[in-house]
Amino acid sequence: MTEHDFDLISVGGGYAGLVAASRAAQLGLKAAVLERGSDALYACNSRFAGGVMHVSYHDPKSPSDVLTAAINEICAGNADAELVSAIATNAGRAVEWLRDEGAKFARVGNVSWRQWILSPPRPAVTQMDWKGRGADVALRTLEKNLGERGGVLHRNTQVIDLILENGCCMGVRAKQGDADVTFRARAVLLADGGFQGNADMAGQHLTPAPQRVKQRGAGTGLGDGIRMAQAAGADLSTLDAFYGHVLSRDAMHNERVWPYPQLDELAAAGLLVNQSGQRIGDEGMGGVYLANMIARQPDPLATTVIFDDTIWQGPGRAAAIPPNSTLLGAGGTLHKADTIAALAVKLDMDASSLEATVQNYNAALTADTLNTLQPPRSARRRKPFAIAQPPFYGAPACCGLTYTMGGVRISGHAEVLRADRSAIPGLYAAGATSGGLEGGPAVGYVGGLIKALTFGLLAAEHTARSLSTSPEKP
């Protein structure tokens, strides 16, 4: 049995873990990252990310009241107020800290939420292209900085459980290959991602058929941090939501049509229906919400996006990697017909059912009574379009799951909380391991990268302050 001693240990080598360890080392603490992956460029969502730092589609350097309002709006008021305040207050300085660490950023036009994109940006291609791109380069930079400050990143290290003494977290037990290793620490940050790669947990909380959901990211989050925190007495948020997008169903077998193009804009402007030709959710809530609605279907591979030529030529060309120009070229399926009835035949749907769905929707749009549809259709976030201009299209869809939104409840300093909101001493959580900010009934999306960056920073700084007043600190 080998033992190591540290001030702060990060479990997981994504942005949350590496930011926390590097910031802790910068503040004079002895820090380490324990990463399960063994490759030099180990797989993780942080490395594969597009690199956009935003707070609910707003510039992270916007005033805190603007960011607070944006989060509360997109989460429909369900986000923990303390976490909302923490990210609204600290997101701006977090991106500045990352820039000062050596990360490069680019801006894209005047769109407010695309002012902090890790550079070099990923090219506008449909398939995965991450090596040497901004998110990957920034992660390597953080690892380099950690080493220069005396910290260490241990690869091929799987954390098994926490060391708890008198209710305090004092380190972790891990496996390095076949060897048992103990890492003693005054603080432990759980930052190993969510549970998107754990089929049992996904089946329990997200979908009745996890094998029929596309892993849109690395799929390395197995829920270990959530499991360990819960065993230590932590409270959990709801676990029934995830960040993801509506994809072509061909993504299940064609690597060229994921992670892009997304079908989000097509679905949000038109209709998302099941195999019976009936709508399954509020298209006006956008693609992240609709991806969750697809996952909750009895068969997540039995939904289709319905739209007309106006939508195909408009919203279909609007995204950074638009489906109109990339979907067919990458081998994605798109059915087309001059009538809704003929389209239904191509989709193997009941023609009368699909025709009724489209007719009812168009009539409600004309009468401004979309809220009376079942399910209701909102219009505030996404503009609804009539489905009236032939040819008509049907794009077989699936949901792409990137990371889960629920997890361990934390304070505004990233401390892990019990049900009574008391903190478990020495235990922190950040990134997709944590919960209470995103998700909820509205499937509110705040931003995976900014959440990991901000709460990784806050965890390190709170640890440093705590240890500076601790009698145990040498």
Q: What pLDDT was estimated at residue 2? A: 67
Share of the chain above pLDDT 90, in %: 94
Contact 429, 225 (CB under 8 A): yes
Q: How many CB atoms lie within 10 A of CB 162?
A: 21
Helix (H, G, I), strand (E, B) or coil at 333: coil
- Span 129-143, mean pLDDT? 96
Q: Is residue 384 predicted with pLDDT exceeding 60?
A: yes
Q: Is residue 274 predicted with pLDDT exceeding 80?
A: yes
Task: Report residue 250 as tokens.
Answer: 């061909």
**pLDDT tens digits along 3-45:** 789 999 999 999 999 999 999 999 999 999 999 999 999 999 9
Q: Is residue 372 predicted with pLDDT exceeding 60?
A: yes
Angstrom distance (rounded) from CA 410 to CA 424: 10
* 333-358: burial string, b at 16+ Cβ within 10 Å, e else: bbbebeebebbbeebebebebbbebb
Domains annotated on the chain, with CATH: 2-239+405-468 (3.50.50.60), 244-401 (3.90.700.10)
71-74: long-range contacts at Cβ-Cβ below 8 A with a sequence spacing of 24 or more?
71/437, 71/444, 71/446, 74/442, 74/444, 74/445, 74/446
**pLDDT tens digits along 309-344:** 999 999 999 988 999 999 999 999 999 999 999 999
- Span 360-365, mean pLDDT? 98
Pairing of strands 31-34, 2-11: parallel
Contact 324, 317 (CB under 8 A): yes
To the nearest 10 degrees (0 to 180), the angle between helices 15-26 and 134-148 is 30
State the pTM of this model.
Answer: 0.96
**pLDDT tens digits along 54-113:** 999 999 999 999 999 999 999 999 999 999 999 999 999 999 999 999 999 999 878 888
Contact 458, 412 (CB under 8 A): yes
Average pLDDT, the chain: 96
**pLDDT tens digits along 208-230:** 999 999 999 999 999 999 999 99
Q: What pLDDT was estimated at residue 474? A: 34
Q: What pLDDT was estimated at residue 122? A: 87
- Span 434-442, mean pLDDT? 96
Angstrom distance (rounded) from CA 226 to CA 187: 17
